[in-house]
Amino acid sequence: MFNYIKGSLELKKENYIVVENNGIGYEIGISNNTLCALPNEGEEIKVFTYFQVREDGVSLYGFITMEEKRMFLDLISVSGVGPKMALQILSGAKLNDIGVAIISGDITLLSKIKGCGKKTAERIIVELKDKIDAFGYAMDCDLPLATTQYDEGLIDEAFNILVSLGLNKGEALKIVKSCYKDGNTIEELVQNCLRSIGN
């Protein structure tokens, strides 16, 4: 229903914020990832949102980047994972690390997050491992992604080449991310990745 809300950040707390838009203060649930990237109270902000309607009430959840919202939507698509648990997971690790953990099947990292036990971690990996956008979550998401430009087509192509050469998805993601440089051709990027593997 609401794609995003843009307005004044009136209040920020550990689990929620209040954004005023046209005289209305919207209380929005957030993760620690979003909290850490927020500006000071009183400044303008744009928050991507998810609106949940239930029999016992309605809730609004917010995300500082579309990447975090996309991960949230992926998480709540898993059986047994609701919005509140998804926010706990997003608060328990960097978005980058969560994405790599899912793709590489790292149950240990996910199960260490508060509220996400081993069985839930296993279910998340099983249901999302082959569905989520591999390179989309591999970028450093500590700050809004608009501050950094990436050639996602180039990264995707290099990632697929490394996987076809036998690397698992988690290793391929880390290597492509570490070797990526603006202006690289696909040949240069893959060569840099292969040199990194050889070192």
Where do the domains of the chain lie, and which CATH numbers do they carry?
A: 4-63 (2.40.50.140), 67-128 (1.10.150.20), 149-198 (1.10.8)
| pLDDT bucket at 147, cuts 50 / 70 / 90 | very low
Give the model's pLDDT for residue 31.
Answer: 94
* 4 has a pLDDT exceeding 80: yes
The tokens 């809730």 sit on which residue?
Answer: 59
Is pTM, for the whole model, over 0.85?
A: no
Rounded CA separation 14/25 (Å)? 17
Other Cβ atoms within 10 Å of 149 Cβ, number = 8
CB proximity list for 121: less than 8 A, separation 6 or greater: 107, 110, 111, 113
Q: Can you say how many angstroms the Cα of residue 100 is from the centroid of all Cα atoms in its chain?
A: 10
Among 18-22, 130-134, 173-177, the range of highest mean pLDDT? 18-22
Rounded CA-CA distance 173/159 in Å is 6
Q: State which H helix or E strand residue 90 sits in.
A: helix 83-92
Question: How far is 199 from 194, CA to CA, in rounded Å?
Answer: 9
Q: Mean of the pLDDT values across residues 13-41?
A: 94
pLDDT at 142 over 50: no
> Per mean pLDDT, which of 116-120, 140-144, 153-157 is the most reliable?
116-120
List Cβ neighbours of 154 (8 Å cut-off, separation of 6 or more): 180, 184, 186, 189
Residue 40 confidence (pLDDT) above 90: yes
Q: Say how far apart CA 196 and CA 7 lie, in whole Å.
A: 45
> Is the model more confident about 79 or about 140?
79
Distance between CA 143 and CA 141 in Å, rounded? 5
Task: Please provide the average confidence, as pLDDT, over all residues in the chain.
Answer: 85
Interatomic CA distance for residues 14 and 42, integer angstroms: 17
Residue 141 reports pLDDT greater than 50:
no
